[in-house]
Structure 1
Amino acid sequence: MAASSNAEKTQLQDMEEEDAGMEEREMESDEEEEEGMGIENTDDEEDDTSEDEKENEAEIQRLEEQLSINAFDYNCHVDLIKLLKQEGELFRLRKARQKMSELFPLTEEIWLDWLKDEIRLTEEEPNREKVYDLFERATKDYICPDIWLEYAQYSIGGMGSPGGIDKVRSIFERAMTAVGLHMTKGQMLWEAYREFENAILSTVQPPPGRIPNPEEQELVNTQVERIHTLFRRQLAIPLMEMETTYAEYEEWSEQGVADTVVHQYKKALQQMEKCRAFEESLLVSEPPKLAEYQAYIDFELKEGDPPRIQIIFERALAENCLVPDMWTKFTTYLDRQLKIKDLVLSTHERAVRNCPWTMGLWKSYLLALERHGADHQTVSDVFEKALNAGFIQATDYVEIWQAYLDYLRRRVDFSKESSKELEELRSAFSRSLDYMKQDVEERFGESGDPSCIIMQIWAKIEALHCKNIQKARELWDSIMTKGNAKYANMWLEYYNLERSYGDPVHCRKALHRAVQCTSDYPEHVCEVLLTFERVEGSLEDWDLAVQKTETRLNRLNEQRAKAAEKEANLARQEEERSEQRRKAKADKKAQKKVQKGTRAGEKRKAEQDDYQDAWNEDSASKRHRGNGDQTTEEHMETETGLFGRNAPPGYKPAPPGAKKAQQGAAATQSQNDDRPELRNDNNSVFISNLTYTLEEPEAQLRTMFETCGPIKQVRPVFSNKGNFKGYCYVQFESPVSVPEALKLDRREVEGRPMFVSPCVDKNKNPDFKVFKYNTSMEKHKIFISGLPFSCTKEQLEEICKSHGTIKDVRLVTYRSGKPKGLAYVEFANETQASQAVLKMDGMDLENNKISVAISNPPRRNMMDKPGSSKPTTDMMPRQVYGSRGRGRTQLSLLPRSLHRQSAPVSKVENGTAAEQIPATAGASADTAGETKALSNSDFARMLLNK
């Protein structure tokens, strides 16, 4: 090796001298040309040149010093090579390239520059072998079609030497194996191979007009068959632009294309069409193209063709050589599927050269070396390289040491009491502990093995395989002194080791120490000790164990109580500080509300003055009724406006001074009125009863109401926290759109009926009622309560349809969309509804007993509002029934023939209904409006008339 290195140095010196001579001749010729042209070099130009050279030299020295400190600085290597090439420092350039190639795989561009420089400088025959060696190194870093093409073309220049043609063919064949399946660049290598064989064919063919002899004809036939074979091999591989190759083969072949070749060509063409989409995505995407390559790899893995899987992995790694996950996937595939030694080990080596900081790649490399039977020295050398690779975290060193120690343990024959392999294993364990303490802790400032996993494994090996329990105890003593004595699991590991390979005395000793030292789970350790004494110990041992455990647990409970008290005090202090902050925040917010309320009061001053003047001038207004009598109606003012039409008995209006104060407070509270001011009520509608969970109420309502006319604005109302409050204003550009919008009243929006009403200011129209509730008995509709919350509309309809024709089913929900357990079911007529009530009332539905009755909704008026005071007597009964009344189900218990004929129900504007007092045939009402009781003759007469 020394001789070869000296020879290389001699060759480098010769090449440097030759290069220097060439530079001198070029400089002399340049000077002669300049003198001939009358050009003179000025002193300023020479000074500028010398200054640039000094700066470049200083930069070169700086980069070389930096690399002497950190040889793995990739960018520093690249910068140094570029600068040396610019300066023309041939010897130093070769040295820099050589040093970088030893540490890192070089990219395609760097290799091509290096190869072209060497080819240009070593044109003589004796130096061709050196370039061949350089090409061999270049082809091992990455699978690059351009490098293989350059290698083949360079080898053609030496085909005239003995065995030159065979060497060229060998290189072409290796290139075909390596990159012949490259979908986009494989085509050029196949064409170059065929051009080479065509050139040889032209040399063996006889001149035109001369008949070849049998030997010459045999050479011609052999060469023609080689070209046929190349065409057939190429057409059987899916490549881009393979249609052109097929057309060329048809034109070249005199006998035409064989059927078998056509079949293989079509099959390859189909495969190429499957891959075309992946190739196009790679073509248009930007680097690093990881997602595109991953999709391509997944496709090829499903196809299951190993050569194609290998080439797509190689293509991906050529562009993403610094992605450890890609190397991991490739090496894992090779380890589990191909299992070819040379291919697997070379790929592992390339992986760690590209990503030396990745511990997982080194670990896989060690396993692959052992799996394929590499010699011990090779495995040790790879491990040493891994330690010097520079991992990014301390735990990586623990894992790589574990992998190497596992390898060494598998080499030991423990049937022998002593062996070289066992001593090497123990020496490696000792070295690993020293390495963790010195190198890892100094570099990272922390231990990479806080749980002492390496020492635990060593102790188990000594106890199990070497039967050396004393060495195992020494190791566990060292483990506990490294801060692990407070952990219960560590003591239990040691206890289990003693139970398996030790004796009861040491087991008891370990558990006693565990009770005293454990701080995370002392109860568990105490329980293990007591269990052990139940099985192994004497009475004295039991008493001692109970005493120690009780003492330990009592002391521990005292410590926990003190800690809990301290924590409670801290929490109480924190809560007091939080309360102070909340109180200060509330005071600040209240102050802002007062200021905001004052501004709001000034803004609505005119409206408030109107109400004040109306109440100050006269608290009662006189109106004329239909009978001509004049009565006085008092209006009561509350916090929210006017209360109804008639004031309750005993109501007295507040004095004017009190009203001023009340109105000032109302102005302060007006900030809570979420409804925005409307410029034109005639163009707007008010939407309510919407679910709170609408995600985009403005967009959804705009879409819904656009059919009514052009919308000027949609204004949903939100709370102070930004939550939707369930109502909204829609302002149209024209009043014509309002009637169309009102037609959408009661349309369901996410399971709730939407209420649409005219937009009216209730402060100016206190008697305005928006919704018209049906308060009369709905005999064709039933009301169901007690439903399970999981009941759906379809399930309820399925239950009820056996009792009649269902027209509508409505589940009652809260505004949030949660069910209330109530429902209304509308039938075609009242007979079907009555049958449903009789059959369904009291039915069990999913363990819920439901109640069913005829729909009889209560009357709704201003008195029903929350916060309003109801009169002492009901002004109007809810429903007037017959003499027998109604049951809970609202079904009459009298025969239909005995039912009194009811007067038609008249509904008032606000939605309430007043029913006239029914009168039976033959019965007259007295002056007081009371119904005369029926006699037996009356009943008999009605029955006979039926």
Structure 2
Amino acid sequence: TKDPWWDPGRGCVMNGKNSAESNMRSYLALSHISFLLHLCVTPQLSINAFDYNCHVDLIKLLKQEGELFRLRKARQKMSELFPLTEGPDIWLEYAQYSIGGMGSPGGIDRVRSIFERAVTAVGLHMTKGQMVWEAYREFENAILSTTQLERIHTLFRRQLAIPLMDMEGTYAEYEEWSEHGVPETVMHQYKKALQQMEKCKPFEEALMVAETPKLAEYQAYIDFELKEGDPARIQITFERALSENCLVPDMWAKYTIYLDRQLKFKDLVLSTHERAVRNCPWTMGLWKSYLLALERHGADHQTVSDVFEKALNAGFIQATDYVEIWQAYLDYLRRRVDFKSSKELEELRAAFSRSLDYMKHDVEERFGESGDPSCIIMQIWARIEALHCKNMQKARELWDSIMTKGNAKYANMWLEYYNLERSYGDSIHCRKALHRAVQCTSDYPEHVCDVLLSFERVEGSLEDWDFAVQKTETRLNRINEQRAKAAEKEANLARQEDERAEQRRKAKVEKKAQKKVQKGTRAGEKRKAEQDDYQDEWNEDAGEIDCLWTSPQGNEDNPELRNDNSSVFVSNLAYTLEEPEAKLRTLFETCGPIKQIRPIFTGKGSFRGYGYVQFESPVSVPEALKLDRRDVEGRPVFVSPCVDKNKNPDFKVFKYNTMMEKHKIFISGLPFSCTKEQLAEICKNHGTVKEVRLVTYRSGKPKGLAYVEFADETQASQAVLKLDGIEVEGNKISVAISNPPRRNATDKPGSSRPTGDAMPRQVYGARGKGRTQLSMLPRSLHRQSAPAGKVENGSAADGEPASAAGNAAGEPKQLSNSDFAKMLLNM
């Protein structure tokens, strides 16, 4: 605090205060850290034990306070959750450390055992493996005796049979050391390894010049080794890649798939799966593969259950991940059930019940959605009860519950239930299910009606047939009436919108006509100017590009351009563009043979900024559309299909995406000088960049915003983690998963936008209002601190203790006496 009685170095200073007040204030100050731990860090770790940043904060606070016992426990707990990746340097340090104990009983054998483990783990490392081999030989030389000479020979022979950098130096050293020269067999193995080293050398050189994390270079190296087919070299290459990319789930997935399908060594496979989920606990696919591997290698039931429980606490980023991990575990339980015994069956049923409760409470509360809208888990349970347990009553109860969760309107759900009854039930319940389907289905009622009639043709009596025909006709008539009313309502709305648009158009035309009359413009020129100005303003107001079929002579149709399939409309060109026809020909000549180019000019001969390009073949149009927003003299050019809006009034050029694009990131705060090439260079280290789009004004000036599309959502997530908060040319950028705002009716051209917060702007993703839409940060990636007074996902609530807000911001805030008193009263 700022009070004069408190000194950070000496603690409490009396300074005229009475003893009781000083002791109280001293106690409050000393318990500040404990209070922060109790209020902020500990609850967060209880919710998500894999929150890397919370572990770091806890260790910092304990270290600051000198809590050595609790600090040791915190570090041990963190090391259990976030492992270190093995590497040549660590093995070398370990081996050299063990040499210090070689004088103790059995010490030499223990050191030799460690060296053997080291060369097995990293001896094939192309660039650093040689250091381990040399240290091993130096150890054997240190204890050299007559009986040890053969050991050193063996080490040389083993090393020379492995492709390593600077093999020639090792060979020369062996020639000098060996009294009888190099044996023929050793020379043959050395030459073979040297040839292999030459093949690998380009990949090693690429790794040397590449910047961390070198993901693309390692991927190319792994693909090469997979083609070569040497298991030991494939394994060491994967390990090297993961030592620098331990937070890349795709790399772990590829490695574990290789081990599962090719090597199949139990200890190696299971240990690698365990490392994968410890490094990337937020990735559901790795946990799912781990469960399958445990079952495949005969792990005991308790071990599989424990791994599943850890997976539930891993903090997945979307609700559907929990559905998939539950499905994997339930599949495992079903495969171990002997349906003649009740013990495993009851455990399976209990697991199904628990999964439904988990989806209803934990998942829905966390994500605001169930993650299983089609009730897949309940469907599986119903099929198991019907097929294996012959318990159709339980299966029907489950399907009744499925239908009450909003699925009764879908035809496919009713047909699934009908197929279940058809396979394991009876005709009475089949008929009942189809009658209910006819009554409730709203998406494909005709199909359900056809199924009911087909069923009655095969199994029904005449009365059943008559009743089915009457019911289906009544239902379809009602559906057709509803569709007709909906179509009429939609047509009325469209007509009203057209009338309003026509009124606005007439008002603009009349206003412009009055201005022209006041200036004394001739009648013919006035009509031409009115039409030209109207077309410009429509293009600006509508926010889309319409093909209006104007010609230099006026508004007469141009027969040569009425072939919509072979023409494109080009707009947003600069009005000062010189020789627009030549510019357009240069731009589009790579798309195919051009039949005609017609830029549009005003009556006075000035360029209007748009025109038409007609190709000789429609196959050129898709190639031309790819040039949309291509920069021409500093402005993005709009290229759109040539469509007559009079014949296609509902045609829209721009489609507004309102769904979260998990494979694409949104970047803000970029410097205006940043180019697409510079941004692609920044992003390429985090995945395969498919497209970079800088957001600009119509004039071509940048807005400081951009969208970057990656090959998949995993790469996009990694890019968010690595790029959010970095500086680009002095600007601190913000990076998040692309999540466009909702497009409301009022967002359409010509409509008025409501003020205030009448319409919600953001459609939230898996993390609710999270800015980046990611559920957690993996280890060693520390996001930049939020502004003071804010927590990670929003502002600190009014009345919240100032210390809590300060801790969330990453910088403890100095507090007054009243703040401490308020915190104690609220505890």
Equivalent position amino acid for 1:186 in 2: G
Q: Within 5 Å, which residues of 2 pair with 1:597-616? A: none
- Aligned partners of 2:586 and 2:226: how far apart in 1? 56
**Offset from partner CA, 1:105-146 (integer Å, 9 cap, x none):** 14xxxxxxxxxxxxxxxxxxxxxxxxxxxxxxxxxxx22212
- Aligned partners of 1:315 and 1:187: how far apart in 2? 15
The structure-2 alpha-carbon separation of the partners of 1:512 and 1:232, relative to structure 1 and needing over 3 Å to count, comes to: same
| 1:237 Cα deviation from its structure 2 partner | 1.3
- Aligned partners of 2:427 and 2:523: how far apart in 1? 90
Match for residue 476 of structure 2 among 553, 572, 576:
553
Contact kept in structure 2, 1:363 and 1:400, CA below 8 Å: yes
- Indicate yes or no: 2:98 matched with 1:155: yes
- Aligned partners of 2:525 and 2:478: how far apart in 1? 68
- Indicate yes or no: 2:373 matched with 1:440: no
The structure-2 alpha-carbon separation of the partners of 1:666 and 1:506, relative to structure 1 and needing over 3 Å to count, comes to: closer
The structure-2 alpha-carbon separation of the partners of 1:427 and 1:543, relative to structure 1 and needing over 3 Å to count, comes to: same
| 1:394 Cα deviation from its structure 2 partner | 1.2
- Aligned partners of 1:575 and 1:189: how far apart in 2? 80
- Aligned partners of 1:577 and 1:302: how far apart in 2? 67
| 1:276 Cα deviation from its structure 2 partner | 2.0
| 1:350 Cα deviation from its structure 2 partner | 0.8
Scaled by the length of structure 2, the TM-score of the pair is 0.60
Contact kept in structure 2, 1:452 and 1:479, CA below 8 Å: yes
**Offset from partner CA, 1:167-222 (integer Å, 9 cap, x none):** 00000000100011111221211111111111101xx4xxxxxxxxxxxxxxx1x2
- Aligned partners of 1:468 and 1:70: how far apart in 2? 44
Counterpart residue number, 2:500: 577
Match for residue 273 of structure 1 among 198, 201, 209:
198
Match for residue 427 of structure 2 among 484, 487, 504:
504
Counterpart residue number, 1:94: 72
Q: Give the match's secondary structure for 2:9.
A: helix
Of 331-340 and 552-561, deviating more is 552-561
Match for residue 329 of structure 1 among 244, 251, 254:
254
Q: Within 5 Å, which residues of 2 pair with 1:380-391? A: 380-391=305-316
Equivalent position amino acid for 1:224 in 2: L
**Offset from partner CA, 1:673-705 (integer Å, 9 cap, x none):** 99xxxxxxxxxxxxxxxx99999xx9xxxxxxx
Q: Give the match's secondary structure for 1:432.
A: helix
The structure-2 alpha-carbon separation of the partners of 1:59 and 1:497, relative to structure 1 and needing over 3 Å to count, comes to: same
The structure-2 alpha-carbon separation of the partners of 1:272 and 1:87, relative to structure 1 and needing over 3 Å to count, comes to: farther
Contact kept in structure 2, 1:63 and 1:76, CA below 8 Å: no
- Indicate yes or no: 2:477 matched with 1:517: no
Counterpart residue number, 2:44: 70
Counterpart residue number, 1:374: 299
Q: Give the match's secondary structure for 1:553.
A: helix
The structure-2 alpha-carbon separation of the partners of 1:195 and 1:56, relative to structure 1 and needing over 3 Å to count, comes to: farther
Contact kept in structure 2, 1:486 and 1:517, CA below 8 Å: yes
Counterpart residue number, 1:199: 142
Scaled by the length of structure 1, the TM-score of the pair is 0.53
Equivalent position amino acid for 2:353 in 1: S
| 1:579 Cα deviation from its structure 2 partner | 2.6
Counterpart residue number, 1:423: 346
- Aligned partners of 2:262 and 2:222: how far apart in 1? 15
Counterpart residue number, 1:262: 187
**Larger-gyration structure (1/2):** 1
Counterpart residue number, 1:185: 128
Contact kept in structure 2, 1:398 and 1:449, CA below 8 Å: yes
The structure-2 alpha-carbon separation of the partners of 1:237 and 1:499, relative to structure 1 and needing over 3 Å to count, comes to: same
Counterpart residue number, 1:40: none
- Indicate yes or no: 2:408 matched with 1:485: yes
Q: Within 5 Å, which residues of 2 pair with 1:87-236? A: 90-106=68-84, 142-201=85-144, 204=145, 220=146, 222-236=147-161
The structure-2 alpha-carbon separation of the partners of 1:165 and 1:483, relative to structure 1 and needing over 3 Å to count, comes to: same
Match for residue 531 of structure 1 among 454, 472, 481:
454
The structure-2 alpha-carbon separation of the partners of 1:510 and 1:663, relative to structure 1 and needing over 3 Å to count, comes to: closer
Counterpart residue number, 1:306: 231
- Aligned partners of 2:129 and 2:35: how far apart in 1? 43
Counterpart residue number, 2:264: 339
**Offset from partner CA, 1:551-593 (integer Å, 9 cap, x none):** 1111111111111110100011112223334445556777899
Contact kept in structure 2, 1:462 and 1:469, CA below 8 Å: yes
Q: Give the match's secondary structure for 2:409.
A: coil
Equivalent position amino acid for 1:298 in 2: D
Contact kept in structure 1, 2:33 and 2:65, CA below 8 Å: no
Contact kept in structure 2, 1:394 and 1:448, CA below 8 Å: yes
- Aligned partners of 1:397 and 1:404: how far apart in 2? 11
Q: Within 5 Å, which residues of 2 pair with 1:51-62? A: 58=32, 62=36
Percent identity (aligned):
80
Unaligned runs of 5+ in 1: 1-43, 107-141, 205-219, 599-659, 675-690, 699-712, 727-748, 755-762, 764-787, 791-946
- Aligned partners of 1:574 and 1:670: how far apart in 2? 23
**Offset from partner CA, 1:429-486 (integer Å, 9 cap, x none):** 1111111112111221111211111111111111111111111111111111111111
Equivalent position amino acid for 1:100 in 2: M
**Offset from partner CA, 1:306-331 (integer Å, 9 cap, x none):** 11111111111111111111111111
Contact kept in structure 2, 1:498 and 1:507, CA below 8 Å: yes
Contact kept in structure 2, 1:716 and 1:724, CA below 8 Å: no
Counterpart residue number, 2:9: 49
Unaligned runs of 5+ in 2: 13-25, 534-549, 553-565, 598-604, 606-615, 619-827
Contact kept in structure 2, 1:597 and 1:667, CA below 8 Å: no
- Aligned partners of 1:308 and 1:505: how far apart in 2? 64
The structure-2 alpha-carbon separation of the partners of 1:388 and 1:665, relative to structure 1 and needing over 3 Å to count, comes to: closer
Equivalent position amino acid for 1:150 in 2: E
- Aligned partners of 2:9 and 2:88: how far apart in 1? 40
- Aligned partners of 1:669 and 1:569: how far apart in 2? 28
| 1:88 Cα deviation from its structure 2 partner | 6.0
Paired residues, number: 546
**Offset from partner CA, 1:876-899 (integer Å, 9 cap, x none):** xxxxxxxxxxxxxxxxxxxxxxxx
| 1:99 Cα deviation from its structure 2 partner | 1.2
- Aligned partners of 1:668 and 1:536: how far apart in 2? 72
Q: Give the match's secondary structure for 1:49.
A: coil
- Aligned partners of 1:467 and 1:199: how far apart in 2? 74
Contact kept in structure 2, 1:693 and 1:724, CA below 8 Å: no
Equivalent position amino acid for 1:226 in 2: R
Counterpart residue number, 2:579: 716
More relative contact order in 1 or in 2 (CA 8 Å, sep 6+)? Answer: 2
**Offset from partner CA, 1:514-541 (integer Å, 9 cap, x none):** 1111111111111111111111111111
Q: Within 5 Å, which residues of 2 pair with 1:657-736? A: 715-717=578-580
The structure-2 alpha-carbon separation of the partners of 1:419 and 1:497, relative to structure 1 and needing over 3 Å to count, comes to: same
| 1:49 Cα deviation from its structure 2 partner | 3.3
**Offset from partner CA, 1:62-105 (integer Å, 9 cap, x none):** 35754422222212323444565577654333212111012221
Contact kept in structure 1, 2:160 and 2:190, CA below 8 Å: yes
Counterpart residue number, 2:163: 238
- Aligned partners of 1:476 and 1:664: how far apart in 2? 71
The structure-2 alpha-carbon separation of the partners of 1:47 and 1:555, relative to structure 1 and needing over 3 Å to count, comes to: closer
Contact kept in structure 2, 1:395 and 1:448, CA below 8 Å: yes
- Aligned partners of 2:131 and 2:524: how far apart in 1? 95
Counterpart residue number, 1:544: 467
**Offset from partner CA, 1:773-812 (integer Å, 9 cap, x none):** xxxxxxxxxxxxxxx999xxxxxxxxxxxxxxxxxxxxxx
Equivalent position amino acid for 2:290 in 1: Y
| 1:426 Cα deviation from its structure 2 partner | 1.2
Q: Give the match's secondary structure for 1:520.
A: coil
The structure-2 alpha-carbon separation of the partners of 1:662 and 1:555, relative to structure 1 and needing over 3 Å to count, comes to: closer
| 1:413 Cα deviation from its structure 2 partner | 2.0
| 1:335 Cα deviation from its structure 2 partner | 0.4
Contact kept in structure 2, 1:401 and 1:432, CA below 8 Å: yes
